[in-house]
Structure 1
């Protein structure tokens, strides 16, 4: 690894906008090895209110038991604190608004528990809107109220797995910036989860944010992808959205087995099959969270300036989160 890349990685704030790995000390150790300053960690997908609260209890206990490595993030000041403490900040996120059930008041409850990002739908229909694997009915009336409440309390709206029409309506309805926390361009590979050039430009033009994933089934070369294929996708999106509104959202599933993917890929975790990813292998060069420094090096190798790389690796995320959360 070049000295320039090593130094840049060490001095930068490094943020992963989406990790859904198996939460344990081993993973936290790998986050520290990778120099991660903070990450959006999924604590709810198909779970309702009660089971999501249970997941947050478990995560709180895990953070406390490993407080030599990690700390909880509720505001951007906590991210800067994690950097100076040499820890990885954990902020909580949902990949589905399902945990709000039909209660708008639950939005505030989860904000108070430390939830900073919520994806409006996960692949299918819920009370808010439609995911990317169904005919898209758009943002519901209840959904409009949920977006307004998320804006009010300071939870970011995530549209990664959300249908095109619902996404557009959330972008227009939200008074705060929204994001695709983890997506790839369909310009490089046509896939229901990937976003068109028009969709990427639309969210960027409306002040939104794009986190780029490295999930191999959505990359051009599938499971044969390398870190350079991932960087190609990042550069592609920067070319559309500019260098200020793009960041990293790996979608690391580290530590999970096949059973977990079966749960993810069935509606509600148990009903109809929505998709089949087949074999899942992260791109060569960034197979684990601990290999994060390789990404800084690969972006520099692509010809991006140190200033732009620093933005993509985390600075942009901090700026956009500050707009939604406050400082």
Structure 2
């Protein structure tokens, strides 16, 4: 089987996309052969702002129903594959939209939200992000984790502080994930995860999606698709071939104002970080170039079965564990 045939035959899941929502993006997802993607609908927004985002995105999905379909179950992802469409999973990068209401977890689940990151870089009512002193998972946060387990929403820890992450991993009865991260063993950065953190989440039944966001890759903006494969190999060596997948963190189509909003606490307060130039690795600059990844993985020494697992099979299994269907 050629790399192109392998890509076309595989279930391809991107564990994190925070790109600009429009038909052009959906067309690129089809060009790249994406079966499904976890697409961010909330970062700093509260309950009402997040509902507004979902309403707007629902309308976009309806207008492009020839290209995309909403996902609530893994059966929906399989249907997307059969119909030649991309399944859209709604995800949060911050539990802030739950505000102080545990009942909002189920409300958002019914609106299609399947993955929620507990904190985005800073403190919220649940716990602490990776850019400030980590106070750990709050008592309220434990209740939120339990409710996410109950209704079937996956806990994401990509931008979460180490102590809070450890306590979520220990508190959750369902698998949790780093949907989009890189190893600090290749580049020391507050957003990257240590070998110990990667091993701990995998040992507890969790999952790691590897990002290609170049500010966190060893080669930075000079990175190529082979540098991304190096990072995947590094992580897989720690977590094993069944606990790893893709979470690109594609920001396709976003402008300067978006990154300013993203990199300030609450979207407007203190500056948390500077990304510098935002450019994806050469060879996979856009979502439309996703088809280049299986060939790069095979070239990097991965077997065909490992490529299938990394491209999406592992995500399917862990999502079914969490969602229950």
Structure-1-length-normalised TM-score: 0.99
- Equivalent in the alignment of 1:316: 314
Give the CA deviation at 1:67: 0.2
- Equivalent in the alignment of 2:77: 79
Query: What's the secondary structure of 1:176's corresponding residue?
Result: coil
Partners of 1:253 and 1:192 lie apart in 2 by 20
Partners of 1:121 and 1:154 lie apart in 2 by 18
Partners of 1:250 and 1:125 lie apart in 2 by 24
- Equivalent in the alignment of 1:249: 247
Give the CA deviation at 1:131: 0.1
- Equivalent in the alignment of 1:274: 272
Give the CA deviation at 1:326: 1.2
Count of residues in Structure 1 that have an aligned counterpart in Structure 2:
325
Partners of 1:168 and 1:39 lie apart in 2 by 26
Give 5+ residue unaligned stretches, structure 1: none
Give the CA deviation at 1:198: 0.2
- Find out whether 1:178 has 2:176 as its counterpart: yes
Query: What's the secondary structure of 2:2's corresponding residue?
Result: helix
- Equivalent in the alignment of 1:102: 100
Give the CA deviation at 1:310: 0.3
- 1:251-308 Cα offsets, whole Å, 9 max, x none, are 0000001110000000000000000001111000000000001111100100100000
- Equivalent in the alignment of 1:152: 150
- Equivalent in the alignment of 2:212: 214
- Which residue of the other structure, out of 30, 33, 58, is the alignment partner of 1:32? 30
> RMSD of aligned C-alpha atoms?
0.5
- Equivalent in the alignment of 1:307: 305
- 1:91-129 Cα offsets, whole Å, 9 max, x none, are 100000000000000000000000000000000000000
Give the CA deviation at 1:323: 0.1
Partners of 1:324 and 1:276 lie apart in 2 by 34
- Equivalent in the alignment of 1:66: 64
Query: What's the secondary structure of 1:313's corresponding residue?
Result: helix
Moved over 2 A (4+): none
Query: What's the secondary structure of 1:274's corresponding residue?
Result: coil
- 1:181-238 Cα offsets, whole Å, 9 max, x none, are 0000000000000000000000000000000000000000110000000000000000
- Equivalent in the alignment of 2:6: 8
- Which residue of the other structure, out of 86, 89, 100, is the alignment partner of 1:88? 86
Give the CA deviation at 1:4: 1.2
Partners of 1:325 and 1:15 lie apart in 2 by 16
- Equivalent in the alignment of 2:236: 238
Structure-2-length-normalised TM-score: 1.00
Give the CA deviation at 1:133: 0.1
Give 5+ residue unaligned stretches, structure 2: none
- Which residue of the other structure, out of 114, 124, 146, is the alignment partner of 1:126? 124
Give the CA deviation at 1:13: 0.2
